[in-house]
């Protein structure tokens, strides 16, 4: 089969302005909980798109680790590719895609580092192996496989029997939404799209053409 011939219909649900919460964060929570209840695999996975100072984009999958009225939180090495992008251009776009529910959510907004205290709290909740990995991996830098194994071994030895602190170059970012779009697949590509746009302290809700 040709790639161009790959297609399927979407017909599970509908979405209208009357269905959604006036607050997009609450609407996100409703959909996220439904994805969890339906046991969507990796429901917390999202694409994260960033761009450098020249506007050259890059995109990767990361895991959301929290959300509230302030925004959406993920963690990484500040010296990684995405960390360098965010230093130069502190804006990002997120996309969640839940195939089992025929849904996606797009989010765009400014990005800030979360507090050191909040980064410490999350780091301290991680398994020991993940903590060691944060120290051992010079994320996004060229390495040999043996170098990484040696680094991991060295840090395991260094912190054996001790509390592992958070590396100063590792922590959380929060994407503070300015736009959120909820997409529900519909037959004949007539998909439902409801978009929220931030206007001061309020949100404006519109339907977009599919």
Task: Considering the candidates 22, 160, 189, 207, report the single residue annotated as catalytic.
Answer: 189
Catalytic residue status for 103? no
CA dist 184 and 43 (Å) reads 16
Give me the residues paired with residue 75 across strands: 172
Strand partners, 61: 47
Residue with tokens 């590792």: 170
DSSP codes of every residue in 137-169: --TTS---HHHHHHHHHHHHHHHTTSPPPPPTT
- Asked if 182 and 17 count as a contact pair (C-beta separation under 8 A), the reply is no
Distance CA 196, CA 26 (A): 12
- Any idea which residues carry the catalytic annotation? 189
């Amino acid at each position: 089969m040709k790639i161009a011939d790959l297609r399927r219909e979407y017909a599970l649900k509908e979405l209208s302005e009357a269905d959604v919460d006036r607050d997009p964060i609450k609407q996100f929570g409703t959909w996220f909980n439904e994805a969890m209840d339906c046991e969507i695999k990796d429901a917390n996975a999202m694409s994260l798109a960033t761009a450098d100072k020249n506007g050259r984009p890059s995109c990767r999958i990361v895991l959301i680790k929290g959300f509230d009225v302030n925004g959406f939180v993920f963690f990484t090495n500040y010296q990684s590719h995405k960390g360098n992008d965010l230093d130069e251009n502190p804006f990002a776009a997120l996309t969640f895609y839940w195939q089992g529910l025929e849904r996606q959510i797009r989010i765009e907004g400014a990005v800030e580092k979360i507090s050191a205290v909040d980064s410490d709290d999350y780091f301290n909740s991680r398994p020991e192996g993940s903590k060691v990995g944060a120290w051992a991996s010079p994320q996004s830098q060229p390495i040999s496989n043996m170098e990484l194994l040696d680094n991991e071994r060295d840090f395991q030895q260094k912190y054996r029997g001790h509390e592992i602190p958070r590396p100063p170059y590792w922590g959380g970012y929060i994407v503070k939404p300015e736009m959120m779009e909820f997409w529900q697949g519909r037959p004949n590509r007539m998909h439902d799209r409801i978009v929220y746009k931030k206007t001061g302290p309020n949100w404006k809700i519109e339907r977009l053409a599919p």
